[in-house]
Structure formats: structure tokens, C-alpha cells
Structure 1
Amino acid sequence: MSDFLKQFGEDLRKNVPGFIAVAVAEIKSGISYFTESAVPGFDPELASAFNLEVVKAKLNAINALGLKESIDDIMINLKTQIHIIDISDNNEYFIYLAVDSTKANLGMTKALLNKYKKEIAGKI
């Protein structure tokens, strides 16, 4: 799986305009399967650990409200960055991606994430 995730990271770095960082982590344990950063000092493993708390809080809220829904993705817009948390269909892992908002094409970025999410689901 590590070769697949390494290729995944390289593909994102190459194909996503404004790529900053990515992490793939398990929701239950918080273990990071993969991290990659194009910006020195930006720690995607640390960022994914904090964003895991966002995911868990939203899953708990959905459960508490008795909703028969699942999270597709969560987007956080900062002044110069967009952070996307893309949740797997089975709620077992998430992809955390940070991009430069002045360079990113959000439609293309989300399309690539959906493609990779399906590919990763078959490998994890």
C-alpha cells in the first residue's frame, strides 16, 4: 500500500494547482497512513490530527441527531488556503488536503480527490 500512497501523493503534488499538503488517516485510531507536504514547516500529520477532531465531532453530531446521513467532505476556507477533509464512504479514513486558494481549481481538486478516494478504498 505504501507504493500506492506514495504515487497518490506525487500525483496530487503534480496535478493539483496550489498543492500545499496531504494526509491520509484512519478515523478510529487517528493513525496517519501517508503524509506529504510541499511547504517547509507545514506538518500535514499534525494538521490531520487536529482535523480528525472536526470529523469525530461531526460524526457524533450526525449520530446524536439521528440523521441517516454520511459526510462527503468538509471544507474550511482560510484567507489564503482551502482545507478539504474528504471522508471515505465507510467512514473508516479521511484524506486531508490543503491548497493555496489563489492557485487552486476547486472543481478539479474535488474531482481528483473523489477519484483517489475510490482507489484508496480498495487498498485500505
Structure 2
Amino acid sequence: MILDKHLTFVKGTDTPAAETRAVCLVQGDLTGTTDGMGPYDGLFLMVTATDTIASLTVTLEHGDAQAGPFTALATYPAKTGLKPGDVVVKAPVPFSAKNWLRVKLSSAAKVNAFLAVGVDKGVVVND
């Protein structure tokens, strides 16, 4: 898997928050209406716990501008009894995603959340 700082929503070392920063997919107009990702993009949403978390639901949101407004694109079922290193979400980004994505958590928690290509391979950090 390839990690790129421009596709990272939040790192486990950041202050816990229920909403992450917005990440741009750089498609067409950065602030205009978009048609969504094409099937060739192949990005995956990865969210892993970096602390013990009792329960967590993750929602991937999308919008046409960095400041929003954002709407839910996909919601992933609650995971319970999470320990550091546990995978919370590992799922492809839906093709209908708009230019800007962010992650919303059911509660403030310490997680790693990022977009990646090739999630079943080794990890390459591209900072």
C-alpha cells in the first residue's frame, strides 16, 4: 500500500476529533460540481485504531468544495472492542465520490485514516 500525506485524513498522533480535514481527489474543477470518480481511480479508505476504542462508526463524506457542505457517501458498521492496530474500515471509495472527501467518526477517537492504492501489498510511505 502507498501512503501519501496529501491523501491522509488524520494520523493517530493527532488530537482526537470526530471530523477530519478534507482531502482533495484533484478531479476537474476543484470547487465546482463533479461527476464523481471514474472506475480507474481505485482508491481505498483505510481506518485503523491507534488506541483502545469501545465502539466506533465511520462515515465517509463528500462535497464539491473544501469548506463543504458535505454529505454522507458511505457509512461503515460499528466496530466494538478495538485495540491499537485493529482495522476499522478497509473499503474501496465509491465511484460516485465528489472532489473533496472527509471522514466523520461517531465520537472523537485516535485513528489513522487515509486513502491508499493497493491495500493488500506492503506499506510504502510517500511523504
Which structure features the higher share of helix residues?
1
Which structure features the higher share of strand residues?
2
TM-score, normalising length: structure 1: 0.29
Higher RCO, 1 vs 2 (CA within 8 Å, ≥6 residues apart): 2
